[in-house]
Structure 1
């Protein structure tokens, strides 16, 4: 598969498709990611994958901010995950922080809101990002049914994607005294980010991290530049 991707990319570049002109994301003739994704018949969407490694609650220890720390965790495991869409350029951890709760990802990270959310191999979890994280609807299926495993995962979030009070001191605590909110992969209830509002674990216990991978939403103003 990787050899096929490489051949496609070389062929794409050799025909001079990448030029100095400005291209919109919809123009697959001059957008490498869109061209290759369409060539491989990978549906456009937001893809969720899981880390193989389990982490203690000090999730902010891997970067300069909690957000970049989560991003570094997810980037480090992307290539070796079961993610079918290795071409999606933006990667973030599905972890709430004080400055960027999950329900603000669409504005903070330009997560598209009008395309489906898939598991790593392309099984649909929700028809839109809002249906996935805002806690108003049931998921189409549990995450475990979309090849995301059955183990719990840190979220530091509550139903609807807000920042939970149980957050391992902002991701800095890995002791038994602190606690952090976690989500369940085996339910499709609207509160899957923190089932029952009571799902917490000691910060010295280890859990997976879920990651999202997507092509950022481009505003009409940016397309015209």
Structure 2
């Protein structure tokens, strides 16, 4: 057990140090590259739900990577978590930010035990919404900042969602199609409007096009009912 803890600390420091070097050259005066600063930032991230983006882009057949569309999305997000800009690498649960026939985004609280009362952050800690409902269900609540402003890039992403977090009418045949014959709903990273999950009612693209996937990472709420 002690050796595992030592390995985790070394691995964490190495990852953070590598990310730091990737953006600039370290020096004695560069506090963000110091050991103390790196470890402090790793262990002082605020509690909440973190959103990060895949680096790779995927065609509309998102169900091709697991036994179900939900598990497939989870596999995609697990595979890209370490290589993302996510500061909170310790959050144990990850899911793709897509609506499915079985689990709509507005049901993530009950289906996946996503904490209902915690803030939603971008990958580096920029706050997007005060809680999950304000993030996806919205109502009349806009995002506090756009996904792009929170460090999630400007490109569109698969959502398969309608405004409010429900399943869109177009979901690439439940994530099984990658042809030009079917369509899937995409979200916008550059707006704070309540329809960011699918602008103007429902924005769609053909399933043979490639787009990234957004993921969430969090510590499950033990008081929530899990439907897994």
Report TM bin, short chain.
Answer: 0.7 to 0.9
- Give the whole-Å Cα distance in 2 for the aligned partners of 1:191 and 1:162: 12
- Listed as ranges, the gaps of 5+ residues in structure 2 are 1-5, 13-38
Alignment of 1:38-187 (within 5 A): 40-136=43-139, 137-187=141-191
Q: Distance in 1 between matches of 2:161 and 2:40?
A: 32
Per-residue displacement from partner, 1:175-221 (whole Å, max 9, x unpaired)? 00100000000000011000111310000000010000000001199
Please identify runs of 4+ aligned residues in structure 1 that moved more than 3 A.
36-39
**Counterparts of 1:39 and 1:197, CA distance in 2:** 39
Aligned to 2:216: 212
Residue 202 of structure 2 corresponds to residue 198 of structure 1: yes
Structure with greater helix percent: 2
- Please give the alpha-carbon distance, in whole angstroms, between the structure 2 residues aligned to 1:37 and 1:85: 12
CA-based RMSD of the aligned residues comes to: 2.5
SS in 1 for 2:80: helix
**How far apart, CA to CA, are the structure 1 residues paired with 2:163 and 2:77?**
23
Tell me the CA shift for residue 144 of structure 1: 0.1
CA distance in structure 1 between the aligned counterparts of 2:172 and 2:64, rounded to whole angstroms: 12
Could you tell me whether the CA contact under 8 Å between 2:99 and 2:105 is conserved in 1? yes
Q: Secondary structure at the match of 2:212?
A: coil
Q: Which ranges in structure 1 are unaligned for 5 or more consecutive residues?
A: 10-35
How many residues align? The count is 195
Quickly say closer, same or farther: Cα 1:128–1:220, change in 2 above 3 A. closer
Task: Provide TM-score, normalisation by structure 1.
Answer: 0.82
SS at match of 1:169: helix
Counterpart secondary structure, 1:140 = coil
* Cα distance in 2, alignment partners of residues 44 and 187 from structure 1: 25
Structure 2 CA distance for partners of 1:220 and 1:153, relative to 1, 3 Å: closer
The CA distance in 2 between the partners of 1:210 and 1:39, in whole Å, is 22
TM-score scaled by length of structure 2: 0.81
